[in-house]
Amino acid sequence: MHRGLFITLEGIDGVGKTTQALLLREYLEQKGHTVVHTFEPGGTELGSRIRQLLLDPAHTELSSMTEILLYAADRAQHVHEKVRPALTAGKTVVCERFVDSSLAYQGYGLGLGLEAIRAVNHWATGGLEPDLTIYLDADPAVCLARTKKDRITQRDLDYYARVRKGFLTMAQAASGRVKVISATGTVEEVAAQVLQAVEGVVR
Ligand code: TMP
């Protein structure tokens, strides 16, 4: 059996990843795919505990290094328990956030070493890479106005400008894998662009 397709959705908090992931799932199921829709951090039971550690604003003492490693730990468990088994079984995985989020938020956003983050995540995932990444792009100020404040989203707009720039820089460097889609239109307009990008990789 062929390994299933691995599609990731990336973007700043409040950009509409979940809405688009659900529409994409519906589209792929209509095409006959068995789809696993999942997310990071927190796509497993153990991961949901790590998510709480990461997002609770009370954890003011949590260091940047710990933050990177907790996201990587969540990812290691997620890949081991959910993503890889699904792909091995020939299923299509639609995942909200993956390694690119760590590179954008912890690397570009916090200014931590990209190479170290890549290495840790390569280890955590066993080198798993998405077949396609959809990066939904929009103004952070607009996106963040829609979100609840947590330990990450309480960071300022300068931080989010760096995160956005990081996503766009990475997309340019990996243009074969990452498709940039403007998320400023209606849900339907954005979905049409997402489906067009996915058409290129679906079997
Ligand atoms: P979510 O709201 O998309 O579920 O993600 C929770 C927060 O975690 C969000 O603010 C983005 C952040 N995040 C990182 O900073 N690094 C990562 O590697 C991941 C997966 C998420």
What pLDDT score was predicted for residue 2?
76
- Kindly tell me if the per-residue pLDDT of 142 is higher than 80: yes
- Kindly tell me if the per-residue pLDDT of 49 is higher than 90: yes
Query: Is the whole model's pTM more than 0.95, yes or no?
Result: yes
- Kindly tell me if the per-residue pLDDT of 203 is higher than 70: no
**147 CB near ligand 1 (under 6 Å):** no
Residues pairing with 166 in the sheet: none
In a domain, 133, yes or no: yes
* DSSP class per residue in 88-133: HTT-EEEEE--HHHHIIIIIIITT--HHHHHHHHHHHHTT---SEE
In a domain, 62, yes or no: yes
- Kindly tell me if the per-residue pLDDT of 1 is higher than 70: no
In a domain, 110, yes or no: yes
CA of 71 to the centre of ligand 1 (A): 8
Residues contacting residue 140 through CB under 8 Å, at least 6 positions apart: 12, 157, 160, 161, 163, 164
CA of 40 to the centre of ligand 1 (A): 7
In a domain, 181, yes or no: yes
In a domain, 140, yes or no: yes
Give the number of domains in the chain. 1
pLDDT digits (tens, 9 = 90+) for 174-183: 999 999 999 9
Residues pairing with 180 in the sheet: 135
- Kindly tell me if the per-residue pLDDT of 105 is higher than 90: yes
**Which atom of ligand 1 sits closest to the CA of residue 42?**
4
Question: Using an 8 Å Cβ cutoff, are 4 and 172 in contact?
Answer: no
**105 CB near ligand 1 (under 6 Å):** yes
Question: Using an 8 Å Cβ cutoff, are 152 and 60 in contact?
Answer: no
**Which domain, by its residues, includes 135?**
6-199
**Whole-number average pLDDT of the chain:** 97
In a domain, 1, yes or no: no
In a domain, 161, yes or no: yes
**125 CB near ligand 1 (under 6 Å):** no
In a domain, 121, yes or no: yes
Peptide bond into 41 cis (omega under 30): yes
CATH code, domain carrying 37 = 3.40.50.300
